[in-house]
C-alpha cells in the first residue's frame, strides 16, 4: 500500500439537536470525530447527517468494544474487513446508510481505504464509493495512542449537556425544559442559583436567562458559578420562542475551537443573512419573529448546499418584520443572531 502518511487524531464533535417545525425533535448527539491531518474527516462528506461509532451516550462496554474494533483487536463488524466510520445519528441501523471503510494493518501502520456509502452487507464500490477520500496511512504509535486514550481516562473530558434555566415565565421555562430533554439535553429550572451546592453547579454546561431576569440577578448567578470554579456558558434569551431558545443553547454548549466548525459566521442585517462556511455543507436558515400581539412566527428562508466561502442570502421581508431573529444551522453547528435594523 503506497498511501502517504496522514496524521491521525480525535476531537469532540456534536450533531446539533433541534425542535422541528412539525413539532418533532432532532436528537442532540455528542461523539468523537476522527481528525485526518488536523481536520475532521466528516468535513470531507458534503451533506451527511451522521455520527461516528464513538458516541458519548452508548454504554461503556459498547464504547470500549468500538475502540477495540478500530484497533483491530476484534473481528470486523462487516464483511470484507469493513468498519462503520459514520452511521445514522438516530438509530445506528446499517439500513439507514453508513459510511464504511476497510481498516487493515500494514506492519505497524493502520490503513483506512475503500470508503463507501453502504446500506446492506455488500457495498457497491463502483457506484457508492467515495473515490476522492483516502486511502489514509496512519503511523501505528500515533493511531493507537489516540484511541487508547479514550478508554484509559486520559482523553479530554466530554462536554456537559445540562442547562440551568432561570426566568420569570414559568410556562415558557417548562416548555423549554421539555424540549431540551426531548433532544437529549438535561435541563433544570430554578429561581435562585446562589444557594445551589458547588458540586451541583459543576454539572452544568450552560445557564440560560429569561429576558425578565435583572442584571443584578444575572451577576449573582455568574458569581455563584465562579465560586464553584465553573466556566459556564451564559445565554441571554432573545425571545420566548422555544425553538429559538433551543438553538441559542445548542450554540452555547458547543465549545469547540472555530477550526472544527463548518459554519463559522452569521450576520443578520438589512434584510440579508451573511453566512460563512469552511467546507461544502447543507445550510438551513430559519427566521423567527414576534408580532405586535407577542405571537411567534417561524419561516424557513433557505435550505441548500453552500460551497466554502462567504454567502449573502436574501430574507423575505415579512419573515423578518419587527422583532426578529435568524438561525443558521448545519448538522453540527448552530448560529443565532437578532435581525439588526
CB-based contact 337:296 (threshold 8 Å): no
Dump pLDDT digits (tens) for 33-51: 999 999 999 998 877 889 9
Residue 90: per-residue pLDDT: 84
Task: Check residue 38 and give left, alpha or beta (phi > 0: left; psi -120 to 50: alpha).
Answer: left
Please report which confidence band the pLDDT of residue 1 belongs to, taking 50, 70 and 90 as the band edges.
very low
Residue 2: per-residue pLDDT: 57
Rounded to the nearest 5 percent, the helix, strand and coil shares of the chain are: 25, 35, 40
Pairing verdict, β 263-269 and 296-306: unpaired
Kindly report the pTM of this predicted structure. Answer: 0.86
Amino acid at each position: 500500500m503506497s498511501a502517504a502518511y496522514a496524521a491521525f487524531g480525535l476531537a469532540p464533535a456534536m450533531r446539533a439537536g433541534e425542535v422541528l417545525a412539525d413539532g418533532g425533535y432532532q436528537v442532540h448527539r455528542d461523539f468523537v470525530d476522527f481528525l485526518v491531518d488536523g481536520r475532521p474527516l466528516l468535513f470531507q462528506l458534503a451533506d451527511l447527517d451522521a455520527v461516528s461509532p464513538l458516541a458519548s451516550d452508548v454504554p461503556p462496554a459498547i464504547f470500549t468494544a468500538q475502540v477495540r474494533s478500530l484497533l483491530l483487536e476484534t473481528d470486523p463488524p462487516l464483511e470484507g474487513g469493513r468498519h462503520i466510520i459514520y452511521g445514522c445519528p438516530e438509530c445506528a441501523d446499517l439500513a439507514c446508510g453508513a459510511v464504511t471503510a476497510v481498516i487493515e494493518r500494514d506492519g505497524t501502520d493502520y490503513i483506512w481505504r475503500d470508503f463507501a456509502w453502504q446500506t446492506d452487507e455488500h457495498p457497491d464500490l463502483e457506484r457508492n464509493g467515495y473515490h476522492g477520500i483516502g486511502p489514509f496511512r496512519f503511523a501505528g504509535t500515533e493511531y493507537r495512542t489516540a484511541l487508547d486514550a479514550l478508554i484509559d481516562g486520559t482523553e479530554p473530558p466530554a462536554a456537559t449537556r445540562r442547562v440551568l434555566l432561570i426566568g420569570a415565565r414559568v410556562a415558557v421555562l417548562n416548555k423549554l425544559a421539555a424540549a431540551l430533554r426531548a433532544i437529549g439535553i438535561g435541563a433544570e429550572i430554578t429561581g435562585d442559583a446562589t444557594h445551589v451546592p458547588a458540586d451541583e453547579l459543576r454539572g452544568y454546561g450552560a445557564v440560560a436567562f429569561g429576558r425578565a431576569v435583572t442584571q443584578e440577578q444575572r451577576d449573582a448567578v455568574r458569581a455563584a458559578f465562579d465560586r464553584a470554579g465553573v466556566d459556564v456558558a451564559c445565554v441571554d434569551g432573545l425571545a420566548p420562542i422555544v425553538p429559538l431558545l433551543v438553538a441559542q443553547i445548542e450554540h452555547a454548549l458547543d465549545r469547540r475551537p472555530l477550526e472544527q466548525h463548518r459554519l463559522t459566521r452569521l450576520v443578520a442585517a438589512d434584510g440579508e443573512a451573511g453566512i460563512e462556511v469552511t467546507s461544502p455543507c447543507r445550510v438551513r436558515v430559519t427566521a423567527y419573529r414576534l408580532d405586535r400581539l407577542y405571537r411567534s412566527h417561524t419561516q424557513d428562508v433557505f435550505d441548500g448546499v453552500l460551497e466554502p466561502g462567504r454567502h449573502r442570502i436574501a430574507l423575505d421581508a415579512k419573515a423578518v418584520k419587527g422583532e426578529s431573529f435568524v438561525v443558521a444551522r448545519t448538522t453540527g453547528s448552530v448560529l443565532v443572531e437578532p435581525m439588526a435594523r
